[in-house]
Amino acid sequence: MTTLDEFTIQQLRLYPQATGELSGLLRGIGLAAKMVSSLVNKAAIADILGEAGNINIQGESVQKLDQLANQTFINVLRNSIYCAGMVSEENDDIIVFDDPKNNQSKYVVLMDPLDGSANIDVNMPIGTIFSIYRRVSELGKPCTKEDFLQKGDNQFGAGYVLYGSSTMFIYGTKRHSVNGFTLDNSVGEFYLSNPHMQIPESGKSYSFDRKYYYSVSDKVRRYIDKCDYSEEGKEDNFSNKNYGSMVADMHRIFFKGGIFMYPSRIGKPKGKLRLMYECNPMAFLAEISGGQAIEESGRRIMDEQPENIHERSSIFIGSKNLINDFLEI
Ligand code: AHM
Ligand code: MG
């Protein structure tokens, strides 16, 4: 069995010019993910459920676990020497690891440390989503906002961690496609369990909160009606799967195919999800594993030029054929 660390070092050996910085960075993200996984597993007995008592820049109430996960990733990455700085859903501004060793790093990371916060208190799946870019500013100096405000297309790597019935680390690069690792808690290592993950070309399920059916645009409603349609007695309509955590919904789609939708709606012209650390990393993983990711107008998510680190975007993502069906409408 290959561990996450062995896997990234093996990849490194294929490129004589590689410095090992990326595998060091992934080791850091993997370590922080294991620490968060352990916190999630004991949350109910460690008095770390419930609200922390503050509101983040998104105007959402922060949970204790949101805060702990955020602090864990920041501390580990700051300490790891392989990351020049971070953007987190929980921090208003960019976090610059301004010290002589981290200023030499060529990578920056954007992340949602704990996605699906509403699931925390009810022991339902939650996750971490991350995106890695090569910085554009000068090495040796503190990183800058421009390092983060890059199109999704420039992502060097992306991934997510699912804290579900087991903890999984999914990571992808353009060169090495998407690979899945499962945490063996008794050893404390992620092992390669799902090499070269591919989103099935089609599927028969859609993830969408039907509460919003009446406030989305006509075209989205028409697509949902199409998903719901069945000839009498045939049950050939789609299943509606909505776990309330993008990581869990997308994880299912990576294995079974389907479409995940978080559209715009009345009063929320760009939906809810954040372009830089929710939509872009998932779009990157979807595209390199054969799927598609677009926003409501039909533009590729990863073509969007971000103007703000916390900006939002509508998203339609998943199996290629289902996105094409939506595009037709
Ligand atoms: P979060 O980052 O604050 O947890 O919000 C993101 C989550 C997604 O995982 C999920 O798909 C969506 O919010 C659910 O949204 P809603 O609040 O509309 O139910
Ligand atoms: Mg989130």
Residue identifier of the C-alpha nearest atom 15 of ligand 1: 244
Instruction: Give residue-wise pLDDT tens across range 134-177.
Output: 999 999 999 999 999 999 999 999 999 999 999 999 999 988 89
Listed residues: CB within 5 A of ion ligand 2: 112, 115
* CATH number of domain containing 127: 3.30.540.10
Tell me: pLDDT of 20 over 90: no
pTM for this prediction: 0.96
State whether 222 and 169 are in the same domain.
Answer: no
Closest ligand 1 atom to Cα of 260:
11
The residue out of 197, 232, 267 marking a domain boundary is 197
Number of domains in the chain: 2
pLDDT classification of 48: cutoffs 50, 70, 90: confident
State whether 112 and 58 are in the same domain.
Answer: yes
Domain extent, residue 308, equals: 205-328
State whether 70 and 163 are in the same domain.
Answer: yes
Q: What is the reported pLDDT for 152?
A: 98
Gap between the Cα atoms of 40 and 46, Å rounded: 10
Lowest mean pLDDT, pick from 45-59, 184-198, 237-251: 45-59
Closest ligand 1 atom to Cα of 209:
19
Closest ligand 1 atom to Cα of 248:
9
The percent of residues in the chain predicted with pLDDT above 90, rounded, is 86
Instruction: Give residue-wise pLDDT tens across range 94-115.
Output: 999 999 999 999 999 999 999 9
Least distant ligand from the CA of 272: 1
Q: How far away, in angstroms, is 90 Cα from ligand 2 center?
A: 10
User: Which residues surround ligand 1 with Cβ inside 6 Å?
Assistant: 60, 89, 112, 115-117, 209, 244-246, 262, 272
State whether 179 and 238 are in the same domain.
Answer: no
Tell me: pLDDT of 117 over 90: no
* C-beta neighbour count of 57 within 10 angstroms: 12
Residue environment code for 187-205, b if the CB has 16+ CB neighbours within 10 A, otherwise e: eebbbbbeeebebbeebeb
Instruction: Give residue-wise pLDDT tens across range 247-304.
Output: 999 999 999 999 999 999 999 999 999 999 999 999 999 999 999 999 999 999 999 9
State whether 189 and 229 are in the same domain.
Answer: no
Give the position of tokens 């805060």: 67
State whether 156 and 284 are in the same domain.
Answer: no
pLDDT classification of 218: cutoffs 50, 70, 90: very high
Residue identifier of the C-alpha nearest atom 13 of ligand 1: 116
Contacts with 323 (C-beta within 8 Å, 6 or more apart), sequence order: 259, 291, 292, 293, 294, 316, 317
Tell me: pLDDT of 8 over 80: yes
